[in-house]
Structure 1
Amino acid sequence: MKTPILVPLILLLGITLTTSTGQYQFGDIIAFERTCVGDKTVYKHYAIYVGPSTGIDVGQGDNDIYHLTGKGCMVSEAKFGKLNDVKKTSKVLKDNYLDDHGYKMKYDKGFEDQVKKRIGDTRGQWSFYRLFNNNCEQFATQIRYGVPSLQQKGTMAESVLKGKESATKVLENIAKHMTMETQCPFTDG
């Protein structure tokens, strides 16, 4: 007699786990783990989940994410896209990591309004991509929390970020020398 009761209970538990683990809510940060040979995550690409089925219209149409995406020559555009198109071979996960670090914002109607406003303010904007101060992670955390953050937790890039001050100086020096070279007249002979 216990078996007929256990089967529906187990099925109900399985259905509950399946529907809750793969679901995203409007404003969630989605991380796409970009890996190389093996299973090492080199870096994460970040986006905001807006979903066509959230009931919140921010102009996304049938797109389900909003992100900063490259357009060649280090130029980025804030735009809507499809999670599956961006996913490719990446592992995809919800990554609201600042929720546990003092930036936790209660997810209520006010929060949705703030995210909608930030999306509206940035939609379609073009900008120069900067590794340390204008990238997809900072963009996503700015949209969700109003605070840009760059951590790349659990990736190979995280160790580079720990030395970001010295790396920034090296990159600034390289940029300075490249600029000087392009302004110098070259002569043959």
Structure 2
Amino acid sequence: MPTLDYYFATVSPYTYLAGTRLEEIAARHGLRIVYKPLDVVALFGRTGGVKPADRHESRKEYRLQELRRQSAKAGLPLNLRPAHWPTNPAPSSYAIIAAQNEGGGDLGGLVHGFTRACWAEERDIAEDAVIRDVLQANGFDPALAGRGLLAGADQYGRNLEDAVAAGAFGAPFYITEGDERFWGQDRLDDLALHLDGKL
């Protein structure tokens, strides 16, 4: 089965706005998604980007307008200034890595559950209770939150290195086996067209 590498950040509003459309595309095309959560701020620093807090005011203003518009297009509620952002993305990322290694639940739902918790539900995805709740809601053992820490930390660091080496520079970022790269949830339609052989 062909694979697609999916680089994303659990604190990224654009990862949230992707919803579960990637999983729908993958199901239609027989793709296996390799979920690669990473530290997107570190990725910016490695690839010439600027973290949101350090951007020019015009970019900050545009980002807020664009998030409002993209939220409306996606039909997903979004708080432009969530109570728990920025927060530490590592614990939720470790949980996703552990869940992928364990298998048996809904990984796409898990990723969306964490991003929704941050951007629509005013929950802190760095908190153990929130991580356990989102794991359980998506069919995973909540104890993975603790069991997967060491392996998760190691893989989390490797995901950043993999992203830099593969040419990813933001989140969400999708890379096919043929090295076609798509940046942003607003490129999912292009990804689908590419997989259909139309682009």
- In the superposition, the TM-score normalised over structure 2's length comes to 0.27
Higher helix share: 2
Higher strand share: 1
Higher relative contact order (CA 8 A, sep 6+): 2
